[in-house]
Amino acid sequence: MPMVNDKLTFFLASGSPRRKEMIDWLGIPYSIRTTAIDESSSIGDPALKSEDIAKQKGFGLCELLIKESKKDFLVLAADTIVSREGLCFGKPSDEDEARKTLSALSAKTHQVFTGVYLGLYDQGRLKEETFHCETEVEFHHITSDLMDLYIKCGEYKDKAGSYGIQGQALTFIKSIQGSYSNVVGLPLSEVILKINGLLSGNFKDRF
């Protein structure tokens, strides 16, 4: 469990209900606070892209909190990218895009990358940690009937890769290698380890 004390305000820089649920499991007080970014990156590598976007979210909030004269806070931000053979699949804009994405992933193996940013502001210093976690997911062939049912339920909306592993998309999954929670949207055990390391003094100073 992270060593977050009463003097430290913990901010989750994400509106994702799935990430909120996982942070709830930690049983520590926190607030949700987000900043408006376009969630884009010029970086091609999907792992580094996920880190870059997470950093944009997290550092943007840190800057805002510092301007508001907030003291002693911890910011957690994350971004999840689904990728196959270097091609990134983001959140679908409509049903057609969701079908195209799921068809591209059907009967194939893809990677899920979640980039994580941690920013600890303490005694006028911003201490940072950025990392990513990778999970390999293999899909069964998605039949047209199963595809229709999934699209109809609307679960594809606001999901990287047009699916959420914790819901009906479990029917697509043949195998997973790596962190399950990473596919949901946050590699929780790795996050706990990194927070503890950050609070213990293992960090990079920005200023």
Q: Which helix (H) or strand (E) holds 151?
A: helix 144-153
Sequence-distant (6+) residues with CB within 8 A of 53 are: 37, 39, 40, 41, 79, 81, 115
Alpha-carbon distance of 143 to 100, in angstroms, equals 13
Sequence-distant (6+) residues with CB within 8 A of 60 are: 13, 35, 37
Is 79 catalytic? The answer is: yes
Identify the active-site residue in 79, 96, 148, 205. Answer: 79
Q: How many CB atoms lie within 10 A of CB 87?
A: 11
Alpha-carbon distance of 207 to 32, in angstroms, equals 24
Which positions are catalytic?
79
